[in-house]
Chains A and B, each alone.
Chain A
Amino acid sequence: MDATILLLLLQDGVVNGAIYALIALSLVLVFTVTRVILIPQGEFVAYGALTLASLEAGTLPGTVPLLLGLGGLAFLADCAEARHSLDGRTLLRLGLRDLVLPALVAAAAWILAPMKPGLLIEILVTLAIVTPMGGFLYAVAFRPLAHASVLVLLIASVGVHLALTGLGLVFFGAEGSRTPPLSEASFPAGPLLVSGQSLWMIGLTLAIIVALWLFFSRTLLGKALIATAVNRLGARLMGIAPSLAGRLSVSVAAFIGALSGVLIAPLTTVYYDTGFLIGLKGFVAAIIAGLASYPAAAAAAILVGIIESIASFEASAFKEVIVFMAIIPVLLWRSLRSAPIEDEE
């Protein structure tokens, strides 16, 4: 392997690593706020990619009926949750959020899809379809278990992942899809040719990281999420409901997932079950960061991307194995270094 190839592999690794970084950040966010290890994060990625591909083809994406269905289920779950203080105003608020909002998004998708309104509008519609699913899933699957242990929450998470993968097959079929790149341009940089697509990926990843940082450091709602992660009881005593924080964090994760899907859709053919493997690599990075530190998770994700790209060049048959084995020394090092953690609550 000469220097040029190494540079190429590094470039590739950083671009893929950017996606893993987005996923790892979402996993850290959701875990610290809700103690849920969000296995279905990969499905948001696949849904994002497949939804955009449907819109690109001028058809109504399968995620639209799914969104309506999930909204309906979330409405029932929300009513059950609020049963002790269910008045007309609450009912109206829940109905707007769980039924009317998805209906509006569905109507927009239904009108816009056949018009093929161009990539930008299609991306916005994609994000509008996938993002609310995060909150709905939280209300349906995770909120009822808010007092359960991390293990029970993980099992529920695996269940949601399996369900969403199955629904992906039902609504999108077994065929894969690919979308045109966000930019056809490419720029020479020394021996490398940097594509506009990879610049978009790195640029948007950085933009999301900056936006997340601003959200957490400048807005009361962002601080409320951190407060919930730092001290759940303390946050509740300030009137910050864990369900509000949980819903918000999983919605942010769904948004980031969908955006990741939009970004990878031009690079690789995405199938209904592609998300899992991508999500797993983000998960490896999040674990390396102890599911706690955002900067460490982002850095680890870039590392995972680079390991993957070098492994696929040197030993392509074993590339996944090598990536997932990277977690072992880290876990060993962690378990030697840190005292056992008490299972809180």
Chain B
Amino acid sequence: MTQPMLEAETLSVAYGRVEAVRGVSLTVAPGRLVTVLGANGAGKTTLLNALMGVLPARGRILFEGRDLTRLPIEARVAQGLSLIPERRELFATMSVEDNLKLGAFRFRHTARGKDGGGDLGEMYRLFPRLAERRRQQAGTLSGGERQMLAMARALMGRPRLLMLDEPSLGLAPLIVAEVMRMVARLRDEGVAILLVEQNARAALQIADHGYVLDGGSVVLQGDSRTLQGDARVVETYLGSLSVDEALPGRTASGR
């Protein structure tokens, strides 16, 4: 067995007295794509925020054997963790290009930090839409473009573990498929991925392993083949095929 890249041990996060994540343990092996599924309010966002240091958590978070539990966000970024948050948190009044350049802020002392090295051109090749809009303010982009920018900005920081919080949220089905392809490709390039999704079908298609979160606890886990075939998952999260095909991008959980 290889050593896990990310390891969370009995993580708990509370908002005041309400526990939103209860004793969650999960691991991501190097180069793997792991997905966390769950309905609205299951605690997925809370879990990712705790892993990134946005929220304080009880329990332990290890990244390549180092204990991150008490480190601030910036220190985790420096280790190679990156989070694309649910609300994207772009720099709305700044240009697309400035958003991208700031993505490489952690390399500012190296040659790569100077204008993002070759990475800026690479991002424009990967996301031609962003190249067209490089001078436009990020706040004026469409939802899909914003998601592209959030991804490209995160990639400018060359993360070794990329966490994505519902990248399909609010996107048209065609774009969802494209985003998922891109995530899968990143994994093939060696980036470990932790993908949080409500769109279980799309996520399980590309994931190696999955966890199902409900009420803040892991209720089910397994490799994605098994989960795709699991009766509970099919019933709760994948829904009947006909509905899902009629309205792709939606789950049967009511959104």
B-binding residues in A (CB < 8 A) = 84-85, 220-221, 223-224, 226-227, 230-231, 233-241
Contact = CB atoms under 8 A, between A and B. Distances in A.
10 contacts: A223-B98, A227-B91, A227-B98, A234-B90, A235-B91, A237-B83, A237-B85, A239-B78, A240-B102, A241-B72
A234 B98 CA distance: 13
Interface string B99-131: 001110110100001000000000000000000
B236 interface: no
Contacts of A227: 91, 94, 98, 102
B148 to A, nearest CB: 16
Interface string B60-103: 00000000001111110110001101001111111000100111
B157 interface: yes
A344 to B, nearest CB: 13
B90 A239 contact: no
A84 B74 contact: no
B102 A220 contact: yes
Contact of A234 (B74, B75, B91, B106): B91
Nearest to B89: A234
B193 to A, nearest CB: 16
A234 B52 CA distance: 12
A313 B74 CA distance: 54
A237 B92 contact: no
Interface of B: 52, 54, 70-75, 77-78, 82-83, 85, 88-94, 98, 101-103, 105-106, 108, 113, 153-154, 157
A220 B101 contact: yes
Interface majority SS on A: helix, strand, loop or mixed?
Answer: helix
Contacts of B70: 84
A161 to B, nearest CB: 29
Contacts of A223: 94, 98, 101-102
Contact of A238 (B72, B77, B88): B77
Contacts of B72: 236, 241
Nearest to A233: B89
A239 B91 contact: no
Contacts of A220: 101-102, 105, 108, 113
Contacts of B92: 230-231
Contacts of A241: 72, 74
Contacts of B94: 223, 226-227, 230
